[in-house]
Amino acid sequence: MNSGEGDMVDEAGRGRGSGRLGMSPLGALFEIDLRSLALLRIGVAVALLVDLASRVRDMDALYAARGVLPPALARSLWDRSVTLSPFTWVAESTPLLWTGVFLLATAALCLALGLIPRWAAAAAWFLLAALQDRNPGLYMSGDRYLLLLLMWCILLPTGARLSVRPAPIGVTRIRSFAGAGLLVQIMVVYVLTGLKKTGAEWSDGTALWYALNHQHVTATGSWLRSQTALLAILSRAIRWTEVFGPLLVLSPWRNAAARTIAVMLFWAFHLGVYTFQGIGVFRLVGLSAWLVFLPPAV
**What are the tens digits of pLDDT across the range 27-50?**
789 999 999 999 999 999 999 999
pTM of the predicted model, to two decimals? 0.88
What would the pLDDT profile of 129-142 be if each residue is shown by its tens digit? 999 999 998 888 88
Which residues are CB-contacts of 41 (< 8 A; sequence separation ≥ 6)?
111, 112, 114, 117, 121, 153, 158, 159, 162, 163
Query: Span 248-264, mean pLDDT?
Result: 95
Mean pLDDT value across the chain = 89
Query: Span 83-99, mean pLDDT?
Result: 94
Residue 82 CA to residue 286 CA, distance in Å, equals 27
7-10 β-sheet, strand order = 15-16, 7-10, 171-175, 32-33
What letter would DSSP give residue 254? S
Confidence of residue 274 (pLDDT cuts 50, 70, 90): confident
Task: Decide if pLDDT at 167 tops 90.
Answer: no
pLDDT given for residue 283 in this prediction? 85
Residue 45 CA to residue 284 CA, distance in Å, equals 10
pLDDT given for residue 22 in this prediction? 56
167 versus 248: which is more confidently predicted?
Answer: 248
Q: What is the DSSP string of 59-76?
A: HHHHHSTTSSS-HHHHHH
Among 181-195, 196-210, 215-229, whose mean pLDDT is lowest? 215-229
End-to-end C-alpha distance for the chain, whole angstroms: 28
Pure H helices in the chain = 25-29, 34-56, 59-63, 71-77, 80-84, 86-89, 94-113, 117-134, 141-155, 177-195, 200-204, 207-211, 219-225, 228-244, 255-276, 282-291
Residue 44 CA to residue 267 CA, distance in Å, equals 15
Residue 59: Cβ within 10 Å count: 16
Confidence of residue 169 (pLDDT cuts 50, 70, 90): confident
Residue 250 CA to residue 166 CA, distance in Å, equals 28
